[in-house]
Amino acid sequence: MDNKTFLDLLSQRLNAGKEDTAEMIEALCHVVTETALEGDIVTFPGFGNFEPRKREERIAYHPSNGKRMLIPPKITLSFRPSTLLKQKVRNHE
């Protein structure tokens, strides 16, 4: 599903204008980003969790020349679906 289709479906479900819905989505993304940068988990009941994880620095090998490289530490964001969401998807088949 592309962004336009998602925006159309969500605005219909909310009975709101597309501009208002786009602003809500943007605000939601902003809040999730800020919260993750602070190191907190964002939980949506019935949907899942967005959890920031810190990856430590590591040594990797370049695939073409075999040289070792130091990859710096970074924060990644992982999503873990809730049990309820998993059940709904499983039972939909």
Q: How many domains does the chain have?
A: 1
| Residue 65 to residues 41, 57, 71, Cα–Cα distance (Å) | 39, 21, 16
Rg (CA), the chain: 19
Q: Which of 44, 54, 30, 27 has its CA nearest to residue 79?
A: 44
**pTM of the shown model:** 0.71
Q: Give the Cα separation of 58 and 24 in Å (integer).
A: 38
Q: What is the pLDDT of residue 63?
A: 87
CATH number at residue 16: 4.10.520.10
Instruction: Tell me which residue range forms the domain holding 63.
Output: 3-91
Tell me the pLDDT tens digit for each residue of 15-40: 999 999 999 999 999 999 999 889 89
